Amino acid sequence: MRRFFLSFFSVLFATAAHAAENVTTFTLDNGMQGVVIEDHRAPVAVQMVWYKTGAADEPPGKSGIAHLLEHLMFKATDNLEAGEFSKIVAANGGSDNGFTAQDYTGYVQRVASDRLGLMMQMEADRMRNLRLTEADVVTERDVVIEERNQRTENSPGALFSEQRNAALYLNHPYGGPIVGWKHEIAALGLSDALSFYDTYYAPNNAVLVVAGDVDPAEVERMANEIYGAIPANPDLPERLRPSEPPQLAERRLTYADPRVAQPYVIRSYLAPERDSGAQEKAAALVILAEVLGGSSNTSYLGRKLQFDEQLAVHTSAFYSGSSLDDTTFGLVIVPVPGVSLAEAEAALDGAVQDFLDEGPDPAQLARIKQQIKASEIYQRDSVQSLARTYGAALTQGLTVEDVQAWPDILSAVTAEDVVAAGREIFDRKRAVTGWLMQPVSDEETQ
Amino acid sequence: MRHFVISLIACLFASPLWAVEIQEVTSPGGIKGWLVEDRSIPFVALDIRFQGGASLDAPGKRGAINLMSALLEEGTGDLDARGFAEAAEGLAAHYGFEVGDDSVTITARMLTENRDQAVDLLRRAITEPSFPQDAIDRVRGQVISGIQSDLKDPETIASRRFSSLAFGDHPYGSARDGTVETVTALTQEDIFAAHRATLARDRLFVGASGDISAEDFGLLMDQLLGDLPETGAAFPERAEYALEGGVTIVPFETPQSVAVFGQAGITRQDPDFFPAYILNHILGGAGFESRLMNEVREKRGLTYGIGTYLVPKDLGELYLGQVASANDRIAEAIEVTRQEWKKAAEEGVSEEELTRAKTYLTGAYPLRFDGNSRIAGILAGMQMIGLGVEYINTRNAQIEAVTNADIRRVAKRLLQPENLRFVVVGQPEGLTDTN
Is the Cβ pair B366, A90 closer than 8 Å? no
* Domain co-membership, B199 together with B299: no
Nearest to A367 among B89, B287, B325 (CB): B89
In this structure, the number of other CB atoms found within 10 A of the CB of residue A3 comes to 12
Residues of chain B found within 8 Å of residue A375, distances taken between Cβ atoms = 92
Nearest to A154 among B154, B302, B364 (CB): B154
Interhelix angle A116-128/A216-226, rounded to 10 degrees, is 30
Q: Which residues of A are catalytic?
A: 70
Is the Cβ pair A138, B111 closer than 8 Å? no
Is the Cβ pair A78, B89 closer than 8 Å? no
Nearest to A93 among B329, B359, B373 (CB): B359
Q: Domain count for chain B, please give it.
A: 2
Residue B234 lies in a domain: no
Final residue before a domain boundary, out of B225, B258, B281: B225
- Binned at pLDDT 50, 70 and 90, residue B287 comes out as confident
- Binned at pLDDT 50, 70 and 90, residue B286 comes out as confident
* Domain co-membership, B289 together with B352: yes
Residue B434 lies in a domain: no
CA B148 to chain A, closest CA, distance in angstroms equals 6
Q: Which of A17, A48, A4 is nearest to A274 (CA)?
A: A17
Is the minimum CB–CB distance between B301 and chain A shorter than 8 Å?
yes
Q: What is the DSSP string of B33-90?
A: EEEEE-TTSSEEEEEEEEETGGGGPPTT-TTHHHHHHHHTTSEETTEEHHHHHHHHHH
* Domain co-membership, B192 together with B312: no
Bridge-based pairing of strands A431-437 and A251-256 is: parallel
Residue B144 lies in a domain: yes
Q: Which of A355, A357, A306 is nearest to A333 (CA)?
A: A306
Assess contact for B326 and B257: CB atoms under 8 A. Answer: yes
Q: Which amino acid is at B215?
A: E
Residue B28 lies in a domain: yes
* Domain co-membership, B220 together with B250: no
Residues of chain B found within 8 Å of residue A373, distances taken between Cβ atoms = 92
DSSP-derived secondary structure letter, A22: G
Is the minimum CB–CB distance between A258 and chain B shorter than 8 Å?
yes
Judged on CB neighbours under 10 Å (0-12, 13-18, 19+), A143 is buried
Is the minimum CB–CB distance between B28 and chain A shorter than 8 Å?
no
- Binned at pLDDT 50, 70 and 90, residue B53 comes out as very high
Question: Which DSSP helix (H) or strand (E) runs through B332?
Answer: helix B330-347
Chain B's closest residue to A96, CA to CA, is B288
Residue B94 lies in a domain: yes
CATH number at residue B342: 3.30.830.10
Q: Which of B302, B372, B379, B384 is nearest to B335 (CA)?
A: B302
Is the Cβ pair A373, B92 closer than 8 Å? yes
Chain B's closest residue to A154, CA to CA, is B254
Predicted local confidence at residue A443, as pLDDT? 53
10-residue mean pLDDT profile of chain A (446 residues): values are 37 46 93 96 94 98 98 96 93 93 97 95 97 96 96 96 98 97 98 98 98 96 98 96 96 97 97 96 97 94 96 96 96 97 98 97 94 91 91 96 95 97 98 96 54
Is the minimum CB–CB distance between B89 and chain A shorter than 8 Å?
yes
Cα–Cα dist A227/B84, whole Å = 52
Looking at the DSSP bridge assignments, the partners of residue B32 are B26
Interhelix angle A400-411/A362-378, rounded to 10 degrees, is 150
Is the Cβ pair B301, A260 closer than 8 Å? no
- The alpha carbon of A376 is separated from its chain's Cα centroid by a whole number of angstroms, namely 21
- Binned at pLDDT 50, 70 and 90, residue B370 comes out as confident
Torsion of CA B130, B133, B135, B137, to 10 degrees: 150
Calculate the average pLDDT of chain B. 94
CA distances B380 to A320, B225, B263, B392, Å, are 35, 15, 28, 13
* Domain co-membership, B207 together with B263: no
pLDDT digits (tens, 9 = 90+) for B228-251: 999 999 999 999 998 999 999 999
Residue B67 lies in a domain: yes
Rg for chain B, CA atoms, rounded? 24
- Provide the 3-class DSSP secondary structure of residue B307: strand
CA B306 to chain A, closest CA, distance in angstroms equals 11
Interface of A with B in 37-66 (CB under 8 A): 41-44
- Binned at pLDDT 50, 70 and 90, residue B19 comes out as confident
Is the Cβ pair B43, A313 closer than 8 Å? no
Q: What is the DSSP string of A349-418?
A: HHHHHHHHHH---HHHHHHHHHHHHHHHHHGGG-HHHHHHHHHHHHHTT--HHHHHHHHHHHHT--HHHH
Q: Which of B85, B77, B81, B376 is nearest to B220 (CA)?
A: B376
Is the Cβ pair B288, A78 closer than 8 Å? no
- The alpha carbon of A403 is separated from its chain's Cα centroid by a whole number of angstroms, namely 16
Assess contact for B323 and B426: CB atoms under 8 A. Answer: no
Vertex A353: Cα angle to A349 and A357 (nearest 5):
170
CA B239 to chain A, closest CA, distance in angstroms equals 32
Q: Which of A179, A88, A140, A100 is nearest to B297 (CA)?
A: A140
By residue range, what is the domain housing residue B64? 22-225
ipTM score: 0.91
* Domain co-membership, B212 together with B353: no
Predicted local confidence at residue B8, as pLDDT? 38
Assess contact for A396 and A241: CB atoms under 8 A. Answer: no
- Binned at pLDDT 50, 70 and 90, residue B16 comes out as very low
Interface of B with A in 161-220 (CB under 8 A): none
Is the Cβ pair B142, A314 closer than 8 Å? yes
* Domain co-membership, B61 together with B104: yes
- Choose the mutation target among A378, A386, A436 for the interface with B, i.e. most B CBs under 10 Å: A378
Cα–Cα dist A438/B359, whole Å = 51
Rounded to the nearest 5°, which phi and psi values hold at A330? -120, 155
Q: How are strands ordered across the β-sheet holding B421-426?
A: B246-251, B421-426, B256-264, B317-326, B306-312
Is the minimum CB–CB distance between B39 and chain A shorter than 8 Å?
no
Is the Cβ pair B141, A336 closer than 8 Å? yes
Residue B3 lies in a domain: no
* Domain co-membership, B216 together with B256: no
Beta-carbon contacts of B318 under 8 Å, excluding residues fewer than 6 positions away, are: B166, B241, B262, B263, B264, B265, B310, B311
Q: Phi/psi zone of residue B24: left (φ > 0), alpha (ψ -120 to 50 degrees), beta?
A: beta
In this structure, the number of other CB atoms found within 10 A of the CB of residue A119 comes to 28
* Domain co-membership, B276 together with B167: no
* Domain co-membership, B279 together with B218: no
Is the Cβ pair A93, B364 closer than 8 Å? yes
Chain B's closest residue to A79, CA to CA, is B2
Instruction: Please check the confidence at residue B206 and state whether its pLDDT lies above 50.
Output: yes
Nearest to A377 among B74, B111, B297 (CB): B111
Residue B138 lies in a domain: yes
Q: What is the DSSP string of A50-97?
A: EES--GGGSPTT-TTHHHHHHHHTTS-BSSS-TTHHHHHHHHTT-EEE
Residues of chain A found within 8 Å of residue B369, distances taken between Cβ atoms = 42
* Domain co-membership, B266 together with B409: yes
Assess contact for A377 and B43: CB atoms under 8 A. Answer: yes
Rounded to the nearest 5°, which phi and psi values hold at A355? -60, -45
Residues of chain B found within 8 Å of residue A378, distances taken between Cβ atoms = 43, 94, 109
Strands (E) across A196-326 are located at: 206-212, 251-256, 264-271, 312-319
Cα–Cα dist B57/B68, whole Å = 11
Nearest to A371 among B89, B300, B372 (CB): B89
Is the Cβ pair B2, A79 closer than 8 Å? yes
Instruction: Please check the confidence at residue B12 and state whether its pLDDT lies above 70.
Output: no
Predicted local confidence at residue A66, as pLDDT? 98
* Domain co-membership, B314 together with B361: yes
Cα–Cα dist A153/B132, whole Å = 41
Q: Which of B126, B163, B118, B116 is nearest to B49 (CA)?
A: B126
Interface of A with B in 373-402 (CB under 8 A): 373-375, 377-378, 380-382
Nearest to A122 among B4, B38, B371 (CB): B4
Roughly how many angstroms between the first and final C-alpha of chain B, as a whole number? 57
Nearest to A306 among B41, B138, B294 (CB): B138
Is the Cβ pair A93, B12 closer than 8 Å? yes
Predicted local confidence at residue A20, as pLDDT? 59
pLDDT digits (tens, 9 = 90+) for B126-146: 999 999 999 999 999 999 999
